[in-house]
Structure 1
Amino acid sequence: MSSNNESIGKTLGVVVGLCLVCAIVVSIASVQLRPMQQASKAKDIQSNILTVAGFKDVKDVFATFEANVESKVINLETGEFVDIDANSFDFEKTKFDQKRSVKLAKAEDKAGVQRMTNNSPVYFTRDAQGQLETIILPIQGYGLWGIMYGFLALEADGETIKSINFYKHNETPGLGGEIQNPRWNALWNGKSLPIDVVKGGANGEHKVDGLSGATLTSNGVDNTVDFWTSDKAFGPFLAKVRKGALN
């Protein structure tokens, strides 16, 4: 009996030791990989901002972004700039920080985001003469299966849409997933706020054709753009832009 107990004890000791070693290895790997993961995430965000701003076939994302995009953070309530580093601002993480975000009442949460940040990064590009060319706003809203994350690019007037780009979502491939289709994105070019995503026959500067077979996703995009360009979100900032505050 004693021999069996000793054998079981040794086995358990080996198992516990192996678990501890594995835990230490995983922990070290996680710490070492974190900077790479953060750099990869930053590169992905910057790449999508460059895309919506009109930069094509970018080879060096970081260098192109640094040379052409201005990043700032605004207070959504006032539309004023705040002294926060936009490049280190984690939009998704901050949203769930109760000190830096607010819970939305269901009646006002048109985009279905539940919580929104008090502040938000915004991005700009300028022409060769230094004149404001593009305003890029991060947007998010609920589609059919989950939150869709994207960027909305506006011309310098703060009203005319230059482009839209959803870079992260769970929508159905071939249906709602077509929000990433360049042909559908191109339908937004030159349209003016406020936008209404409609089912067929999108005539006029304020209407865009919805996605075929993806009504709920189309409605989600409509609600998302409407919410983030409203007075509840980027509206106060856009009001300042339209008065020439950034020129």
Structure 2
Amino acid sequence: MATKKFVCQVCGYVYEGESAPSQCPVCKAPATQFKEVEQPGDPTKPAKKKRDTNSNVYTLIYAAVMVIVVAFLLAFVNSSLRSRQDENIKMDTKKQILSALHVTGVKDVNAEYARYVKADCLMDAEGRLDEKVDDRDFATSYEKEVKEHGRLHVFVCEVEGETKYVIPVYGTGLWGALWGYVALNADKSSVYGVYFSHASETPGLGAEIVTDAFKGQFVGKQALDADKVVLGVMKHGKVENPACQVDGISGGTITSNGVDQMLKNCLGNYIKFLTSKE
């Protein structure tokens, strides 16, 4: 049987034997002051089970815990910032509407929006603008508004004392979504300005729809001919009717076609409003 070790709690003397001595030979402390020292490999003591950090089970448990912790943190951060994110999206949408009115470089978005945009209206089935929308219902995704709720927005604006109507448009380009706004003059036919953007068109090609050079072509063009939308984009160098057509992006034919279809499809939804005399 292995020899046991006992240490004196008073002076530190270590004694080896089957039991503690009756008295410490150094400091004369009684046996009650001795404490047995556990020794490695002592068969009388239960062995501590070591954790196998290289096992598959340990790896899976560790990964699962980390995923749960990270997911919780991301959900918490997203929830905490949701209101700020929504407000930023709303501010960006208002900037886009103002850009169609040639109002850029805005610092106080809400103030400028209130200055130029007099009403966010909805068009009814007869082409009338009879439902006012307050800021709580301000939309930032008009495709969803139309498809899920049948809501056709018209922003009634005023620039230098003249009425302008801004209509949201949306479509698909070569690689993803396209969207924008078309500002019409009070006659509801001639274009005052436009704004376009995209999700993932090719830089230097389709992505050129966001440039002033491309957007500037639309100013003064006619959007309607009788009850038909004629405003459109032709293949670069193939414009047939300069009164209502603009040059597409050179090398970006599919994106240009996407803008053309976007204009015709979306403005076509507003024919009753655009052709009404009210």
Q: How high is the sequence identity, in percent, across the aligned residues?
A: 28
Alignment match, 2:243 = 205
Q: Mean alpha-carbon deviation: is it higher for 153-162 or for 118-127?
A: 118-127
What CA distance in whole angstroms lies between the structure 1 residues aligned with 2:63 and 2:262? Answer: 51
What CA distance in whole angstroms lies between the structure 2 residues aligned with 1:11 and 1:226? Answer: 57
Q: Which of 246, 263, 266 in structure 2 is aligned with 1:228?
A: 266
Residues 140 and 159 from structure 1, CA distance in 2 versus in 1: closer, same or farther, beyond 3 angstroms? same
Alignment match, 1:183 = 213
Residues 91 and 101 from structure 1, CA distance in 2 versus in 1: closer, same or farther, beyond 3 angstroms? farther
Give ranges in structure 2 of 5+ residues lacking alignment.
1-46, 224-229
Which has more helix, going by share of residues?
Answer: 1
Q: How far apart are residue 178 of structure 1 and its match?
A: 0.7
Q: How far apart are residue 125 of structure 1 and its match?
A: 1.6
Residues 3 and 50 from structure 1, CA distance in 2 versus in 1: closer, same or farther, beyond 3 angstroms? same
What CA distance in whole angstroms lies between the structure 1 residues aligned with 2:143 and 2:256? Answer: 27
Answering whether residue 108 of structure 2 is matched by residue 60 of structure 1, we say yes
Q: How far apart are residue 152 of structure 1 and its match?
A: 0.8
Q: Which of 231, 235, 245 in structure 2 is aligned with 1:195?
A: 231
For 1:76-87, list aligned pairs within 5 A.
Answer: 77-80=125-128, 81-85=130-134
Residues 210 and 18 from structure 1, CA distance in 2 versus in 1: closer, same or farther, beyond 3 angstroms? closer
For 1:1-247, list aligned pairs within 5 A.
Answer: 3=49, 19-75=67-123, 77-80=125-128, 81-85=130-134, 88-92=137-141, 95=144, 101=147, 117-127=149-159, 129=161, 131-132=162-163, 134-193=164-223, 194-199=230-235, 200-202=237-239, 203-230=241-268, 233-240=269-276, 243=277, 245=278
Q: TM-score, normalised by structure 1?
A: 0.76
Q: How far apart are residue 94 of structure 1 and its match?
A: 6.8
What CA distance in whole angstroms lies between the structure 1 residues aligned with 2:233 and 2:140? Answer: 26
Residues 218 and 64 from structure 1, CA distance in 2 versus in 1: closer, same or farther, beyond 3 angstroms? same
Asked if structure 2 preserves the Cα contact closer than 8 Å seen for 1:89 and 1:121, the reply is no
Give ranges in structure 1 of 5+ residues lacking alignment.
103-116
What CA distance in whole angstroms lies between the structure 1 residues aligned with 2:234 and 2:59? Answer: 66
**Bigger Rg, which one:** 2
Q: TM-score, normalised by structure 2?
A: 0.69
Greater relative contact order (CA < 8 Å, ≥ 6 in sequence): 1
What CA distance in whole angstroms lies between the structure 2 residues aligned with 1:2 and 1:48? Answer: 67
Q: Partner of 2:152: helix, strand, or coil?
A: strand
| 1:118-144, Cα deviation, whole Å (9 max, x unpaired) | 112221222455x52x11111001111
Root-mean-square deviation (CA), in Å?
Answer: 3.0
Number of aligned residue pairs: give it.
221
Query: Which residue type is aligned with residue 72 of structure 1?
Result: D
